[in-house]
Amino acid sequence: MPRDDSVKRRPPEISFGGRVLFLADDAELIRQQLHEGLNPQLTPDLKARLRDQISTDEITPAYICFFYDETLGDFPYLGLEVASGNGQKEAPIERGLVRAGGFVCSVAGKRRGKGSSREQSPYAELMAGIRVVVSESIERIYNENCQNLGILTTTDFGLIERIRSGEPISLSEFTAGTDDITRQIIEYGGLFEFNMARLQGQVTLPAPRRTPRPMTLGEKIFARKWVIDAAEGRIGTDHAEPGEAGFFRADIRFSHEYVTPMAAIFFEQKLGADAKVLDPDSILFFRDHLTFLHKVMSQERIEQGLLAVANELEVKQREFSEKQGIRLYGEQQGHVMGSEAICHSKILEDYAEPGMLIIGTDSHTPHAGAVGALAFGVGTTAIFNSWITKDVRARIPPSFKVVVDGTLPANCTAKDLMLEILRHPYVRDGHAIGQIIEYAGPVVERLSVDERATMTNMAAEVGAFTGLVAADDRTVEFLIQERGMDPAWAKAMVADVHSDPGAEYVKVIEIDASRLRPMVALPGDPGNGLYIDELAEPVPIEIAYAGSCTAGKKEDMDMYARVFREARDRWGRGVHPDVKCYIQCGSTDVREYAREQGYLDLFRAIGAEFIEPGCGACIAAGPGITRSPDQVSVSSQNRNFPGRSGPGQLYLVSPYSVAASAVAGRVVGWEPGPRRPHPFSESSVPPTPPGAPR
């Protein structure tokens, strides 16, 4: 319990009285505010010049997220790029200037807080003194993170002068239009304060409406996990529907080293150093994102002390896990470098079960939806609150269904399907944002759990709340083979983990897999998909990266090996001499599988470098990243946003295509069997005898 158990709402009126920072698309104006104490009035001209689309990457660039405490208050907006006098872009905000400026409010244009869900962004603002965020529109997760931390948000520009002058403003001006739970979170000054009041029975939560109706699988799991009465331990209701908000019991709560330390600090600050998490056995920590960072960080950044700061994340997470008795999948011991597992890989391999509700501090948490679990990403405040309450706040989203019919061609995979889905107008135009995707149809029914996980994992790229697949015979097979589960137990576990007949979907889209050909997403966005054979001209590559949570599973290893074996045995080829090829697995289990199958020898023989488990190149923190804007790489990972894997051009493809491209030296699909011309025919590599090491 908290040290101070008298939880109070904020007063009904609140005054600020401080400076207002206008984040204008004008470097000179920003400098004048920061260096010369200029306090501009909001004129129509200034309003028109406010920066739109400020992403969380700009508020706190990735390297700043190595910090996890109040130090973050030195850094808000360091990545913000705005117009300078010479027509170029520049980043005018330097370390410490916002905090030193006495600003209480920061103002921007449309879509503030887009991109990554990192809570470091609003926390950096809060620690710099910002108490109110005003913008024309505010992205959902960033807005929620602000509310969870106690930052007030509004789209009402009329409040700016009242904030500056210190005039009392009614709190209701900030809660208008919100749901019951959000309103109370704002009134209590944050999610933690609200939760304490909830545990003390001081708040009223909306009860489930319980309208009898057929439910989708996502709705069904929400209904079963609904916390009706936390004090009495009453969990579950018979019906739930989109739009209803509540708290839901989480079966598994996990986080990785980018987030755990900040969550641990919040936990200890709020509850005291000796406080204990609730049910540590269902909490998991992972050291996966930054295990290989030292191999790729620039000397300049190392000299700035950033590697030391990043390494502190590992230390803090490990210490907290030891103190709390929480299982940590950490670094491998001995001379072997790398992690024990990427979080998503391990959750699916060993933990996720049909019908579970799983939360993790990562956007690809839906990976576990491959076995029919409802798994979704949450922020720092939400995860540390779940350590206290074992539940999570959510508003039930609507579901949409993707039905995949026909027959998947032999050289296409779940990844090709996802790149096809990502370019579907419904998805591309943003209609699927925040919804639950249910993948179904004969092709999905035939896919293995590993391949299904590629699809649920990439629900993150769709912008969906989560993705899942109904549990079925394939799931039973997986539970028996991979977990050694008793068959009768496995069968019982999948019973009723599917949508009801007649369940409502806001949209059903149909994909004919028979028409699919190997896909590629052009650099910049996973939605930039086209068939590889539609590329206007050959795309030579320097790097081929085969790995990440999306493509570091056992079946992905099978696919890389199938192509490389064929290249070697049929065509006498290995990795193209102009290409550096990396294969990275998602866990030590996958590595051992690859070893047993003889893949490690094969990969070595054809000239690929095998890397121990970890995130790595996928987040610009390991071997396989590009080093300059003109470098071209091809990858089986999930996203290719600018800068995601270095400054170069990143093409996304399937596991088959990444291996075929590594051999061909350019982006190609795999053409299996005795077709002519063979897929590597335009390679400049002279044939080598089958089996010869390269």
Distances (CA, A) of 528 to 12, 45, 425, 532, 649: 48, 35, 12, 12, 13
| Residue 62 binding ligand SF4, by CB under 6 A | no
CB atoms within 10 A of CB 304: 13
Q: How far apart are CA 19 and CA 25, in angstroms?
A: 19
Residues 6+ apart with CB under 8 A from 657: 518, 519, 520, 532, 634, 636, 667, 668, 669, 670
The contact pattern for ligand SF4, residues 331-350, with x = CB under 6 A and - = no contact, is -----------x-x------
The stretch near ligand SF4 (CB under 6 A) out of 165-173, 328-336, 471-479, 614-622 is 614-622
> From the CB of 177, what's the least distance to ligand SF4, in Å?
34
Q: Of 255, 289, 242, which Cα lies nearest the Cα of 386?
A: 255
> From the CB of 17, what's the least distance to ligand SF4, in Å?
42
Closer to ligand SF4 at the Cβ: 546 or 549?
549
Phi, psi of 66 (to 5 degrees): -70, -25
Number of residues that bind ligand SF4 (CB under 6 A): 11
Phi, psi of 437 (to 5 degrees): -95, 130
| Residue 549 binding ligand SF4, by CB under 6 A | yes
Closer to ligand SF4 at the Cβ: 459 or 615?
615
The contact pattern for ligand SF4, residues 262-291, with x = CB under 6 A and - = no contact, is ---------------------------x--
Q: Which one among 138, 283, 417, 618 touches ligand SF4, defined by CB under 6 A?
A: 618
Q: Of 432, 456, 227, which Cα lies nearest the Cα of 354?
A: 456
> From the CB of 613, what's the least distance to ligand SF4, in Å?
10
Closer to ligand SF4 at the Cβ: 251 or 362?
362
> From the CB of 321, what's the least distance to ligand SF4, in Å?
19
Q: What part of residues 362-391 is at the interface with ligand SF4 (CB under 6 A)?
A: 362, 364
Cis omega (within 30 of 0) for bond into 677 = yes
> From the CB of 590, what's the least distance to ligand SF4, in Å?
13
Counting Cα atoms < 13 Å in the Cβ hemisphere of 645 gives 33
| Residue 551 binding ligand SF4, by CB under 6 A | no
> From the CB of 602, what's the least distance to ligand SF4, in Å?
23
Laid out side by side, the sheet with 357-360 consists of 327-329, 283-286, 252-256, 357-360, 374-377
By CB neighbour count within 10 A (0-12 exposed, 13-18 middle, 19+ buried), where does 300 fall? exposed
CB atoms within 10 A of CB 645: 25
Q: Of 222, 201, 167, which Cα lies nearest the Cα of 375?
A: 222
Phi, psi of 592 (to 5 degrees): -65, -35
Q: How far apart are CA 29 and CA 46, in angstroms?
A: 10
Closer to ligand SF4 at the Cβ: 289 or 554?
289
| Residue 615 binding ligand SF4, by CB under 6 A | yes
Closer to ligand SF4 at the Cβ: 147 or 636?
636
The stretch near ligand SF4 (CB under 6 A) out of 102-110, 194-202, 307-315, 615-623 is 615-623
Question: Letter for the amino acid at 98?
Answer: V
Q: Which one among 339, 548, 635, 649 touches ligand SF4, defined by CB under 6 A?
A: 548
Q: Which one among 361, 389, 499, 638 touches ligand SF4, defined by CB under 6 A?
A: 638
CB atoms within 10 A of CB 11: 11
| Residue 450 binding ligand SF4, by CB under 6 A | no
> From the CB of 401, what's the least distance to ligand SF4, in Å?
25
> From the CB of 571, what's the least distance to ligand SF4, in Å?
31
| Residue 626 binding ligand SF4, by CB under 6 A | no
Interacting residue ranges for ligand SF4, rule: CB under 6 A:
289, 342, 344, 362, 364, 548-549, 615, 618-619, 638
